[in-house]
Structure 1
Amino acid sequence: MHHRNIVKLSKRMSLALRHAPDRFGLLLERGGWVPVDEFLAALGISRAELDTVVAGDDKQRYTVQCGTDGIERVRANQGHSVPVDLLLVAQPPPRWLYHGTSAAALDSIRATGLNRARRHHVHLSADTDTARRVGSRRAGPVIVLTVDAKAMADDGHLFYRSANGVWLTDAVPAQYLNAGDMD
């Protein structure tokens, strides 16, 4: 598959597994899982195409796993805008986490903090390089915000870690944020 086709298919998979499974006739099972055979049929793709996208995704957005019932299933690791319980368990975060975003959003973020918008959680990175890569998807200069995750946890905020290492929380109030370097 050409890179452009892989990106296009990854976006369709994201739509099917994170935002509009009903548009593809899919029903997310507990944990956000969909049987692979149903998924392939719904998207009209081959297993090789699925495996190419899953293996080649630099953000490891998707997981394929065989259940105790012997059925292989696929899911998006996070970023859902449809109701789903990913069965994540709260865990203590590292001292600092990071969030990359557009510098144009900084005033709003300083006023209201980081909010999940239409998604289930705010996504945070364990390192500044990853946060900068994530933030570069936005237009304009990138800023990396430092989140005082330990203080948040000490104050009762819960954190979860998805299968691909992304840290998730419901919101990050402004008092826990520090603006970092701008690109």
Structure 2
Amino acid sequence: MSDSGASRTRLGLIIALLIFVADLATKEWMLSLIFDPPRRIVLTGFFNLTPVWNRGVSFGLFAGHQEWVPWILSAVAVVIAAGLFVWLRRARHSLLAVALGAVIGGALGNVIDRLRFGAVVDFLDFHISGYHWPAFNIADAAISLGVVMILYHELFLASGQASGEKE
């Protein structure tokens, strides 16, 4: 791996670590603030802190109360994160490295929740006119933003790299 390849890998890993730590820290804070005892904190007319245990993946998909569900979801997330790490080591653009790091850090943050609690700690609740977006956390936001950046990279930047252009 070239020095610039190593620096992009390092960048992605730093982003992953920052997301992971921020996610775990905010979840610990919210566990004591709004989960015990459960309560909603209204911050604005469109944003609350609301305690939600998500037993599935995005939007509660694949939620189940069987003991093995968190383990299966965690194993899948770890395998995906490992694959993304391999991709990160090959990344030729800093944007892609940041995006992959964001997804890796977010995925691993949610894995910790599933292994600790059997569910993911969600608490960010945005709403308008009585309609609520499903509650989420820092990890979920990082994963979503990372996926958007990956798509942007692959659709608009990767073709230039294939012809030999670099960052």
TM-score range, shorter chain: under 0.3
Query: Quick one: higher RCO (CA 8 Å, sep 6+), 1 or 2?
Result: 2
TM-score (norm 1): 0.22
TM-score (norm 2): 0.24
Considering fraction of residues, name the structure with more helix. 2
